[in-house]
Amino acid sequence: MSEFAALVRRDLNLAFRQGGDWANVAAFFALAVILFPFGVGPEPELLSRISAGVLWVAALLAALLSLERLFQSDWEDGSLEALVLMPLPLELQVLAKCLAHWLATGLPLTLIAPLLALVLHFDTAGMGALVLAMLLGTPVLSLIGSVGAALTLGARRGGVLLSLLMLPLYIPVLIFGVAASEAAAMGFTPRPHLLLLAALLAGSLALAPWAAASALRQAME
């Protein structure tokens, strides 16, 4: 398993040395959310009503922003070719890269979400559920995203294609993420929605690395 750890460590190392990628994602998320009160007006009731939706839509778009780079730079400099030939199965390598991607993007998003929720007058009763839902939902974004990133590898204007491919697949995360956060804010139990998010996570953990790995092998031929 030390190979798995080595790959996660390298990708994290690269993410923090380059800085741009993950800082971009967090900044986009923060800006998009902060702009909303200016756009729709500062009434607390209105903001509080749309807050969960705004947070999730912004988080989803922010995650999408960084996806294109997931395999792109490895593909351009020949690293991907070398990685495919490593003894560690490609499926596990995809999983390692998704974990690093989530640690560099999804986790920061989850951590700043409660602060931004306050800006939108999100009911503090729902804060726990919001964080929990993001902890379950953002890894799904990285995992499903890896399939799209692998499929669009080498395509010209892959970014546009990637967004078109990914957005429909992200909608279940959006729906259950918002539902969990809103249910808790309104005093209902968020449990069923969190369980559905957990199911999405379990499903994509099992399927996405496998699908992305075969797409990468295709891209290598």
Partner 1 sequence: MSRPSPKLLSCQELACRRGGRLVFKGLDFALEAGGALLLTGPNGSGKTSLLRMLAGLSPPVDGRILWRGAAISRDFAAHHARIQFIGHQDASKPNLTARENLVFWTAMRGGSKSGADAAIETFRLDKRADWPCRYLSSGEKRRLALARLLSSPAELWLLDEPATGLDARARSVLLAAIEAHRRQGGCVVASTHVPLRLNRAKNLSLAEFMVRGPA
Q: Pick from 35, 44, 81, 164: which binds partner 1 (CB under 8 A)?
A: 81
- Tokens found for residue 82: 């070398």
Decide whether 1 or 39 has the Cβ nearer to partner 1.
1
Helix (H) or strand (E) holding 190: none
Q: How far apart are CA 130 and CA 100, in angstroms?
A: 22
Q: What is the DSSP letter of 121?
A: T
Give me Rg for the CA atoms of the chain.
Answer: 18
As measured in angstroms, the least distance from the Cβ of 15 to partner 1 is: 10
Q: Does residue 189 bind partner 1 (CB under 8 A)?
A: no
Q: Does residue 48 bind partner 1 (CB under 8 A)?
A: no
The one-letter amino acid at 136: L
Q: Tokens 């998009």 — which residue?
A: 32
Q: Tokens 């009160």 — which residue?
A: 37
Q: Pick from 25, 64, 83, 95: which binds partner 1 (CB under 8 A)?
A: 83
Size of the site for partner 1 (CB under 8 A): 24
Q: Does residue 78 bind partner 1 (CB under 8 A)?
A: yes
Decide whether 93 or 204 has the Cβ nearer to partner 1.
93
Q: Pick from 7, 100, 196, 197: which binds partner 1 (CB under 8 A)?
A: 7
Q: Give the interface segment with partner 1, choosing from 37-45, 86-94, 135-143, 171-179 (CB under 8 A).
A: 86-94
Decide whether 24 or 73 has the Cβ nearer to partner 1.
73
As measured in angstroms, the least distance from the Cβ of 175 to partner 1 is: 38
Decide whether 48 or 73 has the Cβ nearer to partner 1.
73
- Tokens found for residue 206: 């099992």
Q: Looking only at residues 9 through 28 of this chain, which bind partner 1 when binding is defined by CB under 8 A?
A: 10, 13-14, 17-18
- Tokens found for residue 181: 């956060």
Torsion of CA 83, 84, 88, 92, to 10 degrees: 100
Q: What is the DSSP letter of 126?
A: G
Q: How far apart are CA 76 and CA 182, in angstroms?
A: 43
User: How deeply is 12 buried, as exposed, middle or buried, from its count of CB atoms within 10 A (0-12, 13-18, 19+)?
Assistant: middle
Binding site for partner 1 (CB under 8 A): 2-3, 6-7, 10, 13-14, 17-18, 73, 77-79, 81-89, 220-221
